[in-house]
Structure 1
Amino acid sequence: MVKLSAKKGGRGEDTYYLNVPREIVKSLGLLKGDEFILSVDTKDGEITLCYKRVKK
């Protein structure tokens, strides 16, 4: 399960984060500083978030 958290961002607005479990990060070889493109799809009341890692 991934939980949504919020922190105060610029101009007093909240910035939202998804906390990815450490086991998933390690198994996928993700590193701090990796960049991702986010695509969002909604269908039948369900939300699908798809992250694609950007090759540097």
Structure 2
Amino acid sequence: MKFRTKQGLLHHDSGRYIELESLTKEEKMKLKRTFKAIKEIQDVISIRFKVSNILG
């Protein structure tokens, strides 16, 4: 949400799309870690609830 808010204020839009070129190296690393954590949570949820069996 922080990245979306910052990008939205910079570009006067919703901040839905983040310009990676405008991020610092530190911000890129934080964003990468965030997506890694989200992926891990999605994996745990899919294993826990066996989502693939329901969807497939």
TM tier, shorter chain? under 0.3
TM value normalised by structure 1: 0.19
TM value normalised by structure 2: 0.19
Higher strand fraction: Structure 1 or Structure 2? Answer: 1
Between 1 and 2, higher relative CO (CA 8 Å, sep ≥ 6) is seen in: 1
For the pair shown, which has the larger CA radius of gyration, 1 or 2?
A: 2
Higher helix fraction: Structure 1 or Structure 2? Answer: 2
